[in-house]
Copies of this chain bind each other. A is one copy, B any other.
Amino acid sequence: MDAKFINPFLIATQNVFKTMLSTQINLGKPSVKANNLTLGEVTGIMGFAGDKKGTFTISFSKECATYAYRAMIGEDVPTINSDVVDAIGELTNIISGQIRVELEKLGINLRASLPTVIVGQNVAINFITPLPVITLPFSFDDGGMTRQLFIDFSFE
């Protein structure tokens, strides 16, 4: 896995959070994913095909998912309902589009599939590839509370 792939995911995710959610998010230390469990509670999955084939997931803690919903829709929501699932699916689509724009700058043209959204903590999502899966941990501060999201991706 070439480290140059990290930047497109970083820039795309930060840009979407900044423009759509007016939120500055910070990247922690990228790592090779050590297990197959979802790190958040609501996880979008998107497949890429084209010059390469790949998959990325974006996993939101419950608090981050409800924060994103409130920032997008303007309503508070107490729990992860189907509206939140749809909003996270839409956010997965939008971030996926930005990632593809950034990857095009590296000469890599990809098309996106339909996203799916998984609800549940510690759900085993196994990437079927001999290549490493990279985890990018993001966080931001919301009135003294730290909210987290995690992007995992792999490309062949």
Contact = CB atoms under 8 A, between A and B. Distances in A.
Given A47-B55, A55-B114, A120 B123 contact: yes
Contact of A125 (B82, B110, B118, B156): B118
A144 interface: no
A111 to B, nearest CB: 4
Interface in A77-127: 82, 85-86, 89-90, 92-93, 110-120, 123-127
For chain A, which range describes its interface: under 10, 10 to 19, 20 to 34, or 35 or more residues?
A: 35 or more
A47 B46 contact: yes
Interface of A: 44-50, 53-55, 57, 82, 85-86, 89-90, 92-93, 110-120, 123-129, 154-156
